[in-house]
């Protein structure tokens, strides 16, 4: 049974954080075909032109409480992360110039990860702690070609940072017995990308959307590599230097639909395919010519999302959703730096119309992960030995979020 | 509106409290079982090997990786246990001070130093010694191991007395943490009401003799240990008497379960296997020269014997043993042995089984003819005279004989010494095995473990542990004591035996997480 599980379990999401709108998240993070708010700037800019008001603004922030536990039955070793709450946020504005043309601006954080294991834990030769951040800033145009079809899109400016610490090996210490480790740090890494979408409205009740966000390779050049607790010997030739590394933020294709059952009920379905296959290896090239190769072997992964919205009263709208998130991580590549495995998301939320212009949007997601026996089999130690690192992992994540929608 | 916000706040708080939980968490009671053993108050008895001694001394990280400390951490995963305490030294430099002055013979730890040509060799760490014996720790300590202790010394009152230390009669390591000047190690152990114990003692009863190159005396037959010198072999009956008293004291104190570790065969230690006895590497020319020299020695000695009225035939028969021949390549060294009637010059070539110690002067071996002959220009001159059929003077002949440069007793274990060691080890191990069986205790076969490491190595997830000096992973830089990885191997061996003896399921450790030797140029 354990083997069957191990074979089918994969790591969901990598370092993708699907929290780009409280309304959408409450509905299982569907939205490529839901015309609801300026959240469309992220989900499908083609839909902005259908927003009723001249100016629509949606902004919000979530708190990601995500923890991972690890244990190894044969040694009795255990470890738990002590992650600070992540705070993905978004800001979307849409301004309608005329019936056929809208302009927008979106700022969002679709990729990021903060994982803090106990220092010197059993997997510390792979990671002690890591913090990834990427902020997307995107001007948008949305244009209605005909009554039944619109398109939209815009360039993306990304600014990101990474900070990663791990021990150099399972045993190397200085004379005091303190573990030798390295921190790599790079910030202000800037790149460009784009996204584009189309929205079809074949009947009054049905919308069909498609959206594509391009791959962006973050090039960290000249970052700082800081070596600590290195023994004073030519046998351990490590000193502070700089490094170059690449981290891909993969492309994502979404297709989906929404159907208005009646005035109160709306159903939505999204399918995401994230092109994780680009993340083959994390290679860190130090200025002294040493290259640290860390095979990742990700494969493209799918997410199926389902959502429903119920307009209870003039003031109150309720939402619920579910999604199934497949993993890009393949068996034998389960590295504890991105410890979020195959998951199901259960989401809910509401909007409260405080005035006719202002609504409060709240959402809540509980992400359920199966307990999984997994290993990372591509660590090569200082003697050239391939040393797998495995054990049982269990993760949980809770994501409460608050936002506002403002219409003018 | 306010209500909703309140709810969200409560929800958020709930989430912070929520932690991932395993279906079968290994860190909760019941994940493993202690079986019939009670690990709640574990006390370890032993010598340096139990103290975590490594690289020629006791230092902090060595103690943290002592096998009793590793065991205690694993026991704590099985059962609620008392905190395991050790008499920790002050630093990672090692060595001992007495009232601020370094105790002779208690130097800093060995580290692997690297010179400009990138040659690596052990050297003493240059850091300051700060552990002062006069700084007496207050116990009790679960790890009662005292480096240097012999079996019967665990029973000796006053073995931790500062007064006795100043007369050279006590052990500075026990002085550091003895509960009173007149106590004994076993008394301090018993006073802790142990529920479980390990005992690994007897190594020094034979090992100190071995490490001294057999310069001590095999005291088999001598029943009074007060007559023994430091490097003597303890009589097996004296050992058996002391050992059984230790075991019964611990059992009577409440430690009805425990593990007895036997004594590894000394010849498996890197200390005796690093400098091979055939490291005399010669070119064809050098071999011919050395053969010629020893022929000259035999010739001169024949003449000498005949001068002493020994019949020619008999003189040749005796002297011929000194006409040792050497060949191109590896040759076994010449070793000094006691002068006897059959070997009046007191040297011979080493046999295949005989061993050299790690601490032998290897430069002398390579460059000064140590282990063969130190042939000076004067000796060459005499050899030249002989070659031309000339007759050297008595003085010149003596010069040739004196050039024989056999390996000293302290640098080698000869066959009879190895036999003494082996006989004592076998006898000790029989006692240990009998007492384990008689008392239902776990018998941990470290002798077998050491021989397996020596013969085939022990595989782990990062390679294979072997007994090769410095790189093998078992032996620290003193060639006798283990590395943290070696001690982890001992801990696993104990765990496996204890599990089997007491139907327990204590988890083993992954020895790949334990380091070996420390490189440092400090």
pLDDT in tens, B264-282: 998 889 999 999 999 999 9
Q: Identify which has the larger pLDDT, A12 or B109.
A: B109
Within 8 A of A63 by CB-CB distance, chain B residues are 12
Torsion of CA B223, B225, B228, B234, to 10 degrees: 70
Q: Across the strands, what pairs with A95?
A: A55, A103
H helix or E strand, kind and range, residue B72: helix B67-75
| Max Cα–Cα distance, chain B, nearest Å | 125
Among the partner residues B19, B127, B507, nearest to A76 by beta-carbon distance = B507
Segment A41-89, tens digit of pLDDT: 999 999 999 999 999 999 999 999 999 999 999 999 999 999 998 999 9
The answer on pLDDT for B17 being more than 80 is no
Average pLDDT, chain B: 93
The tally of CA atoms less than 13 A away on the side-chain side of residue B393 is: 4
Asked whether residue A42 is assigned to any structural domain, the reply reads yes
Percent pLDDT > 90 in chain A is 86
Domain B42-272+413-513 has CATH 3.40.50.1110: yes
Within 8 A of B92 by CB-CB distance, chain A residues are 175-177
Check B462 against A381: CB less than 8 A apart.
yes
Residues A311-333: b if buried by 16+ CB within 10 A, e if exposed: beeeeebbbbbbbebbbbbeeeb
Other C-beta atoms closer than 10 Å to the C-beta of B437 total: 11
pLDDT-derived band at A298, boundaries 50, 70, 90: very high
**CA B61/CA B77 separation, integer angstroms:** 22
State the average pLDDT over residues B287-305.
Answer: 92
Is the CB of A360 inside 8 Å of chain B's CB atoms? yes
Q: Residue A310: give the domain boundaries.
A: 2-116+129-163+189-213+249-282+291-373+389-407
Within 8 A of B6 by CB-CB distance, chain A residues are none
Asked whether residue A77 is assigned to any structural domain, the reply reads yes
Among the partner residues A175, A360, A388, nearest to B520 by beta-carbon distance = A175
Segment A330-353, tens digit of pLDDT: 999 999 988 778 899 999 999 999
pLDDT-derived band at A1, boundaries 50, 70, 90: very low
Check A67 against B20: CB less than 8 A apart.
yes
Within 8 A of A71 by CB-CB distance, chain B residues are 22, 25-27
Measured in angstroms, the CA of B49 and the nearest CA of chain A are apart by 19
Q: Which of B258, B254, B265 is nearest to B71 (CA)?
A: B258
Is the CB of A177 inside 8 Å of chain B's CB atoms? yes
Q: Which of A31, A10, A91, A34 is nearest to A406 (CA)?
A: A91
Among the partner residues B22, B461, B519, nearest to A394 by beta-carbon distance = B22
Among the partner residues A234, A371, A395, nearest to B23 by beta-carbon distance = A371
Q: How much is the pLDDT for A406?
A: 96
Is the CB of A61 inside 8 Å of chain B's CB atoms? no
Segment B42-86, tens digit of pLDDT: 999 999 999 999 999 999 999 999 999 999 999 999 999 999 999
Q: How much is the pLDDT for B373?
A: 92
Segment A148-199, tens digit of pLDDT: 999 999 999 999 999 999 999 999 999 999 999 999 999 999 999 999 999 9
Q: How much is the pLDDT for B266?
A: 85
Check B1 against A173: CB less than 8 A apart.
no
The answer on pLDDT for A8 being more than 80 is no
Asked whether residue A300 is assigned to any structural domain, the reply reads yes
Among the partner residues A233, A388, A392, nearest to B519 by beta-carbon distance = A233
Check B19 against A71: CB less than 8 A apart.
no
Percent pLDDT > 70 in chain A is 97
ipTM: 0.90
The answer on pLDDT for B1 being more than 60 is no
Asked whether residue A179 is assigned to any structural domain, the reply reads no
CATH number at residue A321: 2.40.160.60
Angle at A104 between CA A103 and CA A110, to 5 degrees: 150
Q: Which of A184, A303, A301, A200 is nearest to A245 (CA)?
A: A184
Within 8 A of B112 by CB-CB distance, chain A residues are 233, 235
Is the CB of A405 inside 8 Å of chain B's CB atoms? no
Segment B310-367, tens digit of pLDDT: 998 999 999 999 999 999 999 999 999 999 999 999 999 999 999 999 999 999 998 8
Percent pLDDT > 70 in chain B is 97
State the average pLDDT over residues B456-482.
Answer: 95
Within 8 A of B476 by CB-CB distance, chain A residues are none
Measured in angstroms, the CA of B26 and the nearest CA of chain A are apart by 6
Domain boundaries, chain B: 42-272+413-513, 280-412
pLDDT-derived band at A237, boundaries 50, 70, 90: confident
Segment A191-236, tens digit of pLDDT: 999 999 999 999 999 999 999 999 999 999 999 999 999 999 998 8
Q: How much is the pLDDT for A366?
A: 94
The answer on pLDDT for A251 being more than 90 is yes
Within 8 A of A368 by CB-CB distance, chain B residues are none
Q: Which of B376, B358, B357 is nearest to B368 (CA)?
A: B376
Mutate to test the interface with B, among A75, A318, A376, A395 (most CBs of B within 10 A): A75
Is the CB of A63 inside 8 Å of chain B's CB atoms? yes
The answer on pLDDT for B8 being more than 70 is no
Residues B337-354: b if buried by 16+ CB within 10 A, e if exposed: beeeeeeebebbbbeeeb
Within 8 A of A385 by CB-CB distance, chain B residues are 461-463
Q: How much is the pLDDT for B388?
A: 86
Q: Which of A45-49, B377-381, B429-433 has the lowest mean pLDDT?
A: B377-381
Is the CB of A75 inside 8 Å of chain B's CB atoms? yes
Q: How much is the pLDDT for A2?
A: 31
Among the partner residues A71, A75, A360, nearest to B22 by beta-carbon distance = A71
Q: Identify which has the larger pLDDT, B118 or A124.
A: A124
User: Number of folded domains in chain A?
Assistant: 1
State the average pLDDT over residues B181-192.
Answer: 97
Among the partner residues A77, A233, A350, nearest to B521 by beta-carbon distance = A233
């Amino acid at each position: 049974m354990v083997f069957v599980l191990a074979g089918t379990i994969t790591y969901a999401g990598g370092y993708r954080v699907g929290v780009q709108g409280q309304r959408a998240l409450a509905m299982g993070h569907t939205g490529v075909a839901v015309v609801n708010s300026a959240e469309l700037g992220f989900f499908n800019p083609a839909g902005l032109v259908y927003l009723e008001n001249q100016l629509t603004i949606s902004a919000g922030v979530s708190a990601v409480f995500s923890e991972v536990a690890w244990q190894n039955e044969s040694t009795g070793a255990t470890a738990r992360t002590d992650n600070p709450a992540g705070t993905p946020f978004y800001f979307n504005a849409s301004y309608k110039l005329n019936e056929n043309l809208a302009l927008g601006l979106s700022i969002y954080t679709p990729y990021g990860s903060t994982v803090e294991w106990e220092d010197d834990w059993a997997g510390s030769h792979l990671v002690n702690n890591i913090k990834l951040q990427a902020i997307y800033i995107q001007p948008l145009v949305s244009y209605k070609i005909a009554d039944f079809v619109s398109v939209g899109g815009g360039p993306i400016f990304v600014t990101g940072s990474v900070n990663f610490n791990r021990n150099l090996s399972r045993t190397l210490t200085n004379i005091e017995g303190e573990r030798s480790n390295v921190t790599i740090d790079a910030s202000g890494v800037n790149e460009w990308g784009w996204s584009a979408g189309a929205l079809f409205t074949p009947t009054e009740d049905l919308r069909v959307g498609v959206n594509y966000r391009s791959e962006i390779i973050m090039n960290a050049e000249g970052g700082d590599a800081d070596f600590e607790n290195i023994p004073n010997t030519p046998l351990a030739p490590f000193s502070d230097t700089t490094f170059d590394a690449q981290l891909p933020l993969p492309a994502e294709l979404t297709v989906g639909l929404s159907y208005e059952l009646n005035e109160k009920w709306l159903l939505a379905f999204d399918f995401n395919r994230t092109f994780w296959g680009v993340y083959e290896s994390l290679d860190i090239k130090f200025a002294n010519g040493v290259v640290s190769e860390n095979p990742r072997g990700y494969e493209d992964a799918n997410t199926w999302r389902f959502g429903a919205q119920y307009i209870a009263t003039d003031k109150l709208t309720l939402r619920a959703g579910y999604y199934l998130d497949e993993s890009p991580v393949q068996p034998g590549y389960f590295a504890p730096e991105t410890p979020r495995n195959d998951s199901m998301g259960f989401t809910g939320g509401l909007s409260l119309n405080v005035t006719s212009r202002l609504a409060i949007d709240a959402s809540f997601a509980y992400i359920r992960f199966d307990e999984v026996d997994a290993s990372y089999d591509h660590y090569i130690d200082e003697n050239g030995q391939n040393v797998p690192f495995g054990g049982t992992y269990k993760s949980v994540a809770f994501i409460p979020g608050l936002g506002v929608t403002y219409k003018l | 509106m306010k209500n909703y916000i309140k709810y969200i706040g409560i929800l958020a708080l709930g989430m912070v409290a929520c932690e991932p939980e395993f279906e079968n968490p290994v860190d909760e009671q019941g994940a493993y079982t202690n079986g019939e053993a009670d690990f709640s108050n574990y006390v370890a008895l032993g010598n340096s090997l139990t103290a975590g001694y490594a690289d020629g001394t006791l230092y902090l990280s060595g103690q943290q990786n002592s096998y009793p400390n590793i065991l205690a951490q694993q026991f704590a995963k099985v059962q609620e246990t008392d905190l395991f305490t050790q008499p920790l030294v002050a630093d990672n430099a090692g060595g001992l001070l007495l009232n601020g002055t370094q105790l002779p013979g208690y130097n800093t730890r060995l580290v692997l130093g690297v010179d400009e040509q990138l040659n690596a060799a052990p050297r003493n760490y240059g850091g300051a010694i700060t552990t002062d014996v006069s700084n007496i720790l207050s116990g009790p300590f679960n790890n009662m191991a005292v480096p240097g202790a012999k079996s019967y010394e665990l029973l000796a009152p006053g073995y931790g007395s500062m007064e006795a230390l100043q007369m050279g009669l006590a052990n500075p390591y026990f002085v550091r943490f003895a509960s009173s000047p007149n106590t004994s190690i076993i008394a301090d152990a018993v006073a802790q009401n142990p529920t479980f114990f390990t005992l690994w003692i007897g190594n020094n009863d034979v090992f100190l003799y071995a490490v001294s190159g057999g310069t001590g005396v095999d005291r088999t037959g001598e029943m009074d240990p007060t007559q023994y010198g430091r490097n003597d072999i303890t009589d097996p009956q004296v050992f058996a008497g002391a050992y059984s008293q230790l075991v019964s004291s611990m059992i009577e104190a409440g430690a009805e379960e425990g593990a007895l570790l036997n004594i590894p065969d000394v010849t498996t230690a890197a200390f005796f296997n690093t400098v091979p006895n055939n490291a005399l590497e010669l070119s064809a020319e050098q071999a011919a020269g050395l053969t010629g020299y020893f022929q000259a020695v035999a010739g001169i000695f024949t003449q000498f014997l005949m001068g002493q009225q020994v019949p020619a035939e008999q003189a040749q028969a005796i002297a011929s043993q000194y006409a040792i021949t050497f060949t191109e390549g590896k040759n076994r060294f010449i070793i000094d042995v006691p002068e006897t009637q059959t070997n009046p010059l007191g040297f011979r070539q080493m046999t295949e089984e005989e061993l050299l110690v790690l601490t032998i002067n290897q430069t002398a071996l390579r460059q000064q003819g140590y282990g063969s002959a130190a042939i000076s220009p004067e000796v060459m001159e005499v050899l030249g005279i002989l070659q031309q059929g000339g007759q050297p003077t008595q003085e010149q002949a003596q010069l040739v004989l004196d050039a024989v440069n056999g390996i000293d007793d302290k640098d080698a274990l000869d066959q009879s010494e190895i036999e003494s060691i082996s006989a004592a080890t076998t006898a000790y191990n029989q006692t240990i095995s009998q007492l384990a069986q008689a008392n239902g205790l776990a018998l941990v076969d470290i002798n077998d473990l050491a021989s397996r490491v020596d013969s085939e190595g022990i595989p782990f997830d990062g390679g294979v542990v072997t007994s090769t000096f410095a790189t093998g992973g078992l032996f620290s830089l003193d060639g006798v004591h283990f590395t943290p990885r070696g001690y982890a191997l001992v801990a696993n061996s104990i765990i496996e035996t204890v599990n089997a003896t007491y139907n327990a399921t204590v988890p083993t450790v992954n020895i790949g997480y334990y380091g070996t030797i420390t490189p440092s140029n400090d």
